[in-house]
Structure 1
Amino acid sequence: MKTKLKIILTLTVGLLSIISAFAQKPKPCSLTLQGDKLIGKCEEGIFTNLEINLGKEYVAIDSLTLFKALPKEGSVTLFGQKKVPTRFEITKRSGVPQVILKPDKNTPRVGWYTFDNPIFNNNTINFIIDMDPIVPIQKEDLEVILQTRKLLKDPSKWHQNDDRICDDDIENGKYSFYCALNTASTMVAGEYNHRNAVMQIMRKQIQKRYPPGKKWRHRFKDYNNMPETSFKDIINIIDEAETIIRKELEKKSN
């Protein structure tokens, strides 16, 4: 009986790993200009349909036109079923402007994602949505780490009740893990990028601590609020991320 149970558990963990790996693969997507809208879909994954309301009609679309038109409201359809109000904005990642989609904050298990590797062809935009991108590291990322350390300089500056709303954290001078990173990113770069190199490295460090297939709604929020997470655990992740970033910057300088 114990042997059978062990086999079932092993197969279950393996299956969850496969599902998790598949979910992280980049998803090919496209948008086509139709009057005053960009309408399209992704081949697979979370977002089956996308729509951006441009506010006026365009005869052609290219990167400059799109970047000037945003931010705009629109929608994404999740798994071909639920249509969710979504804001489309411009952000910068590693110094490069990108379109980022931000579904309504009350939508469970859906984060913010960027349009990666966009190709503009006539009135069509082809791109991928990478659910967990590897982002090039730059000097600014180290500055974000150092600023995060200043905000979380001792346990009295950390709290374990993250709601991903950071205004009160800033006002009280007491931060969740996510809000410390969010605030530090804004202080250093002038804006917050949800999937900059620092955030991505730390997401992976959090994920490494748990079995494959563990479900997260928001990795920073969930990890921060877990009863077993300590201030030392948060600092350990910051230490690991700083080591990775310093090593990568050293390689680039040689």
Structure 2
Amino acid sequence: MDNRLSRSTLPLLFVCFLAGCATGQGSTQVAAEATAPAQSRDKFGDPAQYEVRDLPVTVQDLQTLERAAALLGSESAWNRNDDRQCADDEAMEKRSLFCALQRASADVYGSHDPYKIADHRRVALQEVRFAVEEATRGRELNHRLMDFNNLPDTTLADIKHVLAQATTRVRARLSAN
């Protein structure tokens, strides 16, 4: 047996060292986390998984998009300065694209937890993200919904357009089923 360290072992040892494994503190937890699949460590799971465009669509996805569009029915209902903190938006009844989708999702499903992958990456929300990507080709957006909402040249008509595009796609997918 070769006693040299393999390249795959070195990162584990480094993580272990940083967490205090040398003194025995936290060694079991750190070793388990370091060897666990990425999706169990990442708050939102495997990034490739939630960019899949053919997840099963439901009637609730369509209802969510229709509700979000209704919530953003006028300029006075749109918050163009999103911070992804929706409690203040709710109090003002003036929502960003992100917060309108979050509220609509909660209205349709009964709840919406932005830190729960199943809620945050529902088909309706993903279809809006994909429509935003198409509308902003060539622009780097860290948080598609917030950054698109906050672009100086984004108008409420642009917001309504991406919602309409997502709604059309979800409706077509439902019809195909």
Work out whether residues 41 and 48 of structure 1, in 8 Å CA contact, stay in contact via their aligned partners in 2.
no
* TM-score relative to the length of structure 2: 0.71
1:15-94 superposed matches below 5 A: 38-41=32-35, 50=41
SS at match of 1:160: coil
- Flag the structure with larger Rg: 2
Q: Kindly tell me: are residues 40 and 169 of structure 1, through their superposed partners in 2, closer, same or farther at Cα, counting changes over 3 Å?
A: same
Matched, 1:231 2:162: no
Work out whether residues 132 and 162 of structure 2, in 8 Å CA contact, stay in contact via their aligned partners in 1.
yes
Partner in structure 2 of residue 208 of structure 1:
134
Partner in structure 1 of residue 95 of structure 2:
175
Partner in structure 2 of residue 161 of structure 1:
81
Matched, 1:132 2:51: yes
Partner in structure 1 of residue 174 of structure 2:
249
When the two structures are aligned, how many residues end up with a matched partner?
143
Work out whether residues 67 and 104 of structure 2, in 8 Å CA contact, stay in contact via their aligned partners in 1.
yes
Q: Where has structure 1 moved over 3 Å in runs of 4 or more?
A: 40-43, 47-50
Q: Kindly tell me: are residues 205 and 42 of structure 1, through their superposed partners in 2, closer, same or farther at Cα, counting changes over 3 Å?
A: farther
SS at match of 1:114: coil
> Identity rate of aligned residues, in percent?
28
Structure 1: stretches of 5+ with no match in the other structure = 1-33, 51-75, 77-100, 102-112, 116-127
Partner in structure 2 of residue 119 of structure 1:
none
Q: Kindly tell me: are residues 42 and 131 of structure 1, through their superposed partners in 2, closer, same or farther at Cα, counting changes over 3 Å?
A: farther
Q: How far apart are residue 209 of structure 1 and its match?
A: 2.0
In structure 1, distance between residues paired with 2:70 and 2:133: 24
Structure having greater relative contact order (Cα 8 Å, sep ≥ 6)? 2
Q: How far apart are residue 49 of structure 1 and its match?
A: 9.1
- More strand, by proportion: 1
Work out whether residues 206 and 219 of structure 1, in 8 Å CA contact, stay in contact via their aligned partners in 2.
yes
In structure 2, distance between residues paired with 1:151 and 1:233: 15
Work out whether residues 41 and 49 of structure 1, in 8 Å CA contact, stay in contact via their aligned partners in 2.
no
Cα RMSD of the aligned pairs, angstroms, is 2.7
* TM-score relative to the length of structure 1: 0.51
